[in-house]
Amino acid sequence: MKKIAAFILFIGVLDSISAQSTLTLDSCRALALSNNKELRISAEKITAAHYEKKAAFTNYLPKIAAIGTYMRTQKEISLLSDEQKGVISQIGTTAQGSIQETFQQLAASNPELAQILQPLAPLIPGIGNALNKVGQGLVDALRTDTRNMYAGAVTLTQPIFMGGKIVAYNKITQYAEQLAESQHATGMQDIILNTDQAYWQVISLINKKKLAQSYLQLVSQLDSDVDKMITEGVATKADGLSVKVKVNEAEMKLTQIDNGLSLSKMVLCQLCGLPLNDEIRLADEDVESLTLPEYHVGDNVATALANREELRSLDLANKIYDQKVNITRAGFLPTVALTANYMVTNPSLVNGFERKFRGMWAVGAMVQIPIWNWGEGMYKVKAAKAEANIARYQLADAKEKVELQVSQASYKVNEAAKRLSMAEKNLEKADENLRYAKLGFMEGVIPTSNVLEAQTAWLSAQSDKIDAQIDVKLTEVYLRKSMGVLK
């Protein structure tokens, strides 16, 4: 959704640019924010952290897994040895021999009993055969036939207590998402700051170009006047050469400003995602004066401590390290989980060895208790606590630096305002000085060198005023950035 909104914003800004052909500071900011690749990367990091948080929550829920296997073996598992198989399968023959031997002994010891047992003798071979069949059936029944084995299971595992690891990991992913959002906000402020710097740099060079053109016009007019005066014999050739040197310097200065302006516009276009050679016009090109809002250092520091995304990022990192201590400790605490599964095998074991798929369910609990690890857990927990302390020290150090940064930015704002006021007063004096120098030169009471000095002073005063105006605007931006309210 954020990507769609950014794309719509980008298209809207482009439409407004094509319709108006003038870029305001806000439109430059919007273009830079929608075009910057690093911001897109940080937005994707937010998305990744969001899904990591969702994935971490699933650790509270039961996991279901299925497994299946097939195995072909060279030989089958045998519960009876070959000798035992032979004995059991011939159990009738063995019994038949024993019965016949017993009958013979009885007949020899008691002739009368022999007559009674004589009718039973023909039945003995049948009994032997019957017992042989029973023995053979028992041998066959005990055959496992495990050369082809199939097995499958569906298992459910529900964590009950994992030493606090799941809770800590969920908190870490929550903080990680907030950290990604904070870093994204920091990146946006950096892009806005860079865009403002590039924008006001272009404005500064545009005004300096106008100033250079005005100065070139002044010295060119003076050069023309001096040439006429040389012709009339009221000025020397040295005066003319001095003026021509100033004309050449003014032309060179104008060329340098033109080149710098072209490069600065390229930088601004690159930030805004526009073609580098686009001819752009800025809304503040004709700015004459800038207003400076009032700020109070105490309030600014309090605002910065509450709003700076860097401090918020460090605070979140501190919380993440605290939870890492819990995760490290959880690795050496008892764990409890419930399990339930349904198993299917072939051959099946629930009704003897059958070549059929049969299954059964089972439930249970699993408990793991670390007994002795030679102090490994204690050492790792202490190491994790040391890392958490480092994060806290970094946060405290950053707060001190932010307070100093805001104080310095506030002083620079006040200093820039004073510089602008002084530059305006100096410009008034330079204008007056140049006016008197021109009048004196036309009356012939002031030499050419004095006029050149007055023009140079006027140029310096105009340039100082432009620099002071831009400095006022940029120091305001720096202050808002240091307070975390640059948007």
CATH number at residue 459: 1.20.1600.10
Residues 286 and 416 in one domain: yes
Within-domain flag for 452 = yes
Residues 88 and 208 in one domain: no
d(CA 117, CA 111): 10
Within-domain flag for 152 = no
Within-domain flag for 38 = yes
Q: 101: domain range? A: 78-143
Residues 245 and 132 in one domain: no
Alpha carbon separation from 348 to 79, 340, 478 (Å, rounded): 15, 20, 78
pLDDT at 6: 47
Residues 57 and 82 in one domain: no
Residues 381 and 277 in one domain: yes
Within-domain flag for 42 = yes
Residues 323 and 436 in one domain: yes
Residues 138 and 170 in one domain: no
Amino acid sitting at position 363: V
- Which pTM does this prediction carry? 0.77
pLDDT at 339: 94
Residues 116 and 234 in one domain: no
Mark which of 143, 172, 195 sits at the end of a domain: 143
Q: For 105-202, where are the E strands, in sequence order?
A: 148-161
Residues 169 and 277 in one domain: yes
Within-domain flag for 32 = yes
Mark which of 86, 116, 143 sits at the end of a domain: 143
pLDDT at 17: 46
Q: Is the dihedral of CA 123, 125, 126, 127 positive or negative?
A: positive
Alpha carbon separation from 415 to 211, 402, 419, 475, 476 (Å, rounded): 24, 20, 6, 9, 11
Alpha carbon separation from 424 to 186, 189, 213, 291, 359 (Å, rounded): 36, 32, 20, 14, 95
Within-domain flag for 148 = no
pLDDT at 103: 64
Mean pLDDT by 10 residues, the chain (487 residues): 46 46 88 92 95 95 94 79 74 69 66 63 68 74 78 94 93 95 94 93 89 87 82 78 87 92 93 89 77 59 89 94 94 93 87 82 92 90 94 94 90 88 90 86 77 84 88 89 88
Residues 106 and 246 in one domain: no
The partner residues of 368 in beta bridges, in order of sequence, read 335
pLDDT at 380: 92
Phi, psi of 292 (to 5 degrees): -120, 120
Residues 239 and 308 in one domain: yes
Residues 238 and 90 in one domain: no
pLDDT at 72: 86
Within-domain flag for 453 = yes
Are the C-beta atoms of residues 311 and 67 closer than 8 Å to each other? no
Within-domain flag for 338 = no
As for how many domains the chain has, the answer is 2
Residue 399 CB coordination number (10 Å): 18
Q: What tokens appear for 421 in the block?
A: 């006021």
